[in-house]
Structure 1
Amino acid sequence: MEAQKTRSPLKPEGEWHSRGFLPHWEAGETPQAIFFRLADSMPVHVRERWVEELDNDPNALPAGELRRRLEAVLDAGFGEAFLCRPTIGPIIETALLYFDGDRYRLHAWCVMPNHVHVLLTPIGDHALSAIVHGLKSYTAKEINKILGRRGKVWFEEYFDRKIRNEKHFEDAHFYIEQNPVKAKLCVKASAWGYSSASYSRCRS
């Protein structure tokens, strides 16, 4: 990833921007909880139903409800769900750690089988959209190399949420590290292979 460090960050497209399905907010140096997912992690009929609901009534799915629905579907493990394979998990984790302290401060993360949760604070003029784009672009290329294939790895959208206060920060941190436990993939957070909970344990 060395070549990527010399690139200029992409500038925010205004405070609010959207690529059609989810709104995104560039909050500057404010902690943000984000998640992004594999392209095949949501059944097409589910996404089409939600889009239809939003087309009929833009307020039909408030942000909180949409997030809860997304997380429930993702935790069900649809799609190939290959992110936690021993050949793939380290690619995601290494990419997240690589720019910690440079483009962002990384507070917590968790690589789930078909999606990734991250809690971070952008640094300086590094836009959140550029940070996510860089992570997804690099990891997609590396994953395709490992899998010996071409094509889309990540769904083009991502979910982001500005952290409001200290309690919200702690709640988000806890949720991210506990996600594998909630999804019944392990009995304690530190047992999950690719997360800040297990990384902290390994380095202690």
Structure 2
Amino acid sequence: MNRFQHDEIFSEAPISVRTGPGALKLMTLMLGDALPEDKLASIVDCLPQDEQRERQRRLHHLLDSGYGSCLLARPDVAELVDSALQSFNGRQFELVSWVLMPSHIHILAGANCGYRMEQVLLALMGWTEEKLEEQLGIEGRIWSRQYREQVIRDEEHMFAAIDFIHSDPVRSGLCIEAEDWEYSSASGLDIRRVVSVVDALLEDQAG
């Protein structure tokens, strides 16, 4: 049995692996209106820092509740963002697993040599915002510049993160099987490629 529960994926446990540019990370990018300030404040104010697991559980539930514009539920927006992810994949970063939800994205990826993940994510957000305005007339910033990340500590943590990502639409009631969700890597995950990508990231980091 995997020791990581879904509400522990973003835990603050000590990191025992690399944390540099080539680190494999689980990241959540959110729309700017995905987390209402009053509800987010209630979670932070009511729960002390040492109750990290319960904080994460409530935060995940809040994200999946569909607050805000949920622009990513629009097929035209989702397709554009999906296209951006695939365009960045193999260049700025190596994308292992991902899912687009109505108000947020979960990504498991590692920055390629010469890139830092923070820069890659900012570029991704800026590029998608520019294209959304050009192609769909959606103006302004749609993404929160504050994103959540967790460095993957070991192989077990990595596979738990993949399961967490792929099962998010199921947990939210958007589909019955993870493979049914169109904007996800669930139906096409290649385990051999995952291992190859992780090995390459390790090699880059060691170099």
TM-score norm. by structure 2 comes to 0.75
- What is the Cα-based RMSD across aligned positions, in Å? 2.3
Instruction: Please say if 1:182 is aligned against 2:182.
Output: no
Contact (CA 8 Å) 1:26, 1:127: kept in 2 or not? no
Q: Which runs of 5+ in 2 are unaligned?
A: 1-17, 191-207
Equivalence map 1:134-145=2 (5 Å): 134-145=123-134
Contact (CA 8 Å) 1:35, 1:115: kept in 2 or not? yes
Q: Which runs of 5+ in 1 are unaligned?
A: 1-24
* Other-structure match for 2:6: none
> How much does 1:187 deviate?
0.3
* Other-structure match for 1:93: 82
Amino acid at match of 1:30: A
* Other-structure match for 1:11: none
Task: Give the 4+ runs in structure 1 shifted more than 4 A.
Answer: 50-54
Q: Calculate percent identity across the aligned residue pairs.
A: 29
* Other-structure match for 2:34: 41
2:65 aligned residue (71, 76, 81) = 76
Q: Deviations over 1:20-50 (max 9, x none)?
A: xxxxx95321210001111111122123335
User: Aligned in 2, Cα 1:143/1:68: closer, same or farther, shift over 3 Å?
Assistant: farther
Contact (CA 8 Å) 2:29, 2:143: kept in 1 or not? yes
Equivalence map 1:1-204=2 (5 Å): 27-50=20-43, 59=49, 62=52, 64-199=53-188
CA distance in 2, matches of 1:153, 1:32: 23
For these two proteins, the number of residue pairs brought into alignment is 173
Contact (CA 8 Å) 1:103, 1:123: kept in 2 or not? yes
Helix, strand or coil at the partner of 1:116: strand
Amino acid at match of 2:158: F
Amino acid at match of 2:127: Y
Amino acid at match of 2:109: L
User: Aligned in 2, Cα 1:146/1:160: closer, same or farther, shift over 3 Å?
Assistant: same
Q: Relative to total residues, which structure has the larger helix share, 1 or 2? A: 2
TM-score norm. by structure 1 comes to 0.76
> How much does 1:139 deviate?
1.1
Helix, strand or coil at the partner of 1:29: coil
